[in-house]
Amino acid sequence: MKSIVRLVTSSVGKKYLMALSGFILSGFVLGHMCGNLQVFLPPHWINSYAHHLQSMPYGLLWVVRAVMLSAVAIHAATAIVLFKENKAARPEAYRKDATVRASKASRTMIVSGLIILFFIIFHIFHYTVKNMYGLDQLMINDLGHGPLEHPVPNVYAVMYMGFSVWYVALFYIVAVFMLCQHLSHGVASIFQSLGLRNEIWRYRLEKLALAYGWIVFLGFASIPVAVLLDFYLGVPIFDKSTFIEVYEQAKNCAGAIQ
């Protein structure tokens, strides 16, 4: 037990915690993005996908949720400890400070990280608990195979209506940009922290991490951008037939404000 405590409290051990939790989180982010991009397909795609996730057997949904939440908790808590220790290691700052190589993203991990943490909390209330903006009212009776016994959440409509609030959409875009920055350093760091790279792979992995960050950004940001284009500028991207009444109501409200 003592040796385990010694491991996780050591400077290198904390890197492992960051790397392993970061590995889980960055993998999840890519899967989550692929799932979300189904919103560009006909509504029953994402609705049945969401329904299948929600009704996984053996309580698997909660297993996944528990793993994800622990990863977030470990990642955030370790980051705060590291930040404090690192500040304490240099009590007196350089009067003239310079940076030779370290990227802006790598030096602002704590800032991007805290914004992402705040975003995750908001995001869970916004789209998982759905107790904001009346999104919990949006249900559907048909996943494309005829009527269902019980109505299920109309995730397609939830996403659309959620992003039709412009400042929410804007916050999402900012948050996923922060995620892009965070990943561009973090993904490469995973390999360094676990000692799984050499001088040749270092530069390859840094490019890979940058690409990873931007793919995740473009994938996620495309959805609020598309909704904003559809809702405010009338670009026909989404099929609003399953929630046409809610849509028109919102459209009238937005029109009245304008």
Partner 1 sequence: MKLTLKVWRQKNSNSEGKLVAYDLDGISPDSSFLEMLDILNETLIERGEEPVAFDHDCREGICGMCSLVINGIPHGHERQTTVCQLHMRHFKDGQTVTIEPWRSKPLPVIKDLIVDRTALEKIQQAGGFVSISTGGVPDANATPIPKQVADVAMDAAACIGCGACVAACKNASAMLFMSAKVSQLNRLPQGKVEKDRRVLAMVKTHDELGFGNCTNFGECQAVCPKGITLDHIAKLNRDYAVASFKNIFGGVK
**Would you report the helix, strand and coil content of the chain in percent, each value rounded to 5?**
80, 5, 20
Residues 138-167 touching partner 1, rule: CB under 8 A, are none
Q: What is the DSSP string of 87-148?
A: HHH--S--SS---SS--HHHHTHHHHHHHHHHHHHHHIIIIII--STTGGG-EEEESSSSEE
Tell me phi and psi for residue 149, to 5 degrees: -65, -45
Q: How far apart are the first and last CA of the chain?
A: 64
Amino acid letter, residue 122: F
Among 57, 99, 128, 147, binds partner 1 (CB under 8 A): 99
Q: Is 188 in the site for partner 1 (CB under 8 A)?
A: yes
Q: Is 137 near partner 1 (CB under 8 A)? A: no
* Site map 46..85 versus partner 1, x via CB under 8 A: ------------------------------------x--x
Q: Is 130 in the site for partner 1 (CB under 8 A)?
A: no
Binding part of the chain for partner 1, among 38-46, 100-108, 229-237, 241-249 by CB under 8 A, reads 100-108
Decide: is 44 part of the binding site for partner 1 (CB under 8 A): no
Q: Closer CB to partner 1, residue 7 or residue 77?
A: 7
Q: Contact between 192 and partner 1 (CB under 8 A)?
A: yes
**CA dihedral sign of residues 228, 234, 239, 241:** positive
As measured in angstroms, the least distance from the Cβ of 73 to partner 1 is 19
Query: Is 24:18 a contact under the CB 8 Å cutoff?
Result: no
- Of 180 and 190, nearer to partner 1 (C-beta) is 190
Q: Which position among 15, 44, 126, 182 is part of the footprint of partner 1 (CB under 8 A)?
A: 15
Residues linked to residue 140 through DSSP beta bridges, in sequence order = 152
- Rounded to an integer, what distance in angstroms lies between the CA atom of residue 240 and that of residue 249? 12
Q: Tell me whether residue 105 or residue 178 sits nearer to partner 1 (CB atom).
A: 105
Q: Which stretch binds partner 1 (CB under 8 A): 4-12, 57-65, 152-160, 217-225?
A: 4-12
Q: Judged by CB under 8 A, does residue 10 bind partner 1?
A: yes
Nearer to partner 1, 157 or 205 (CB): 205
Give Cα separations from 134 to 82, 88, 110, 143, 229 (angstroms): 40, 46, 33, 21, 22
Q: Tell me whether residue 12 or residue 233 sits nearer to partner 1 (CB atom).
A: 12
Residue from 216, 222, 226, 218 nearest 160 by CA:
226
CB of 24 or CB of 82, closer to partner 1: 82
Binding site for partner 1 (CB under 8 A): 3-4, 6-7, 10-16, 82, 85-86, 88-102, 106-107, 109, 185, 188-189, 192-199, 202
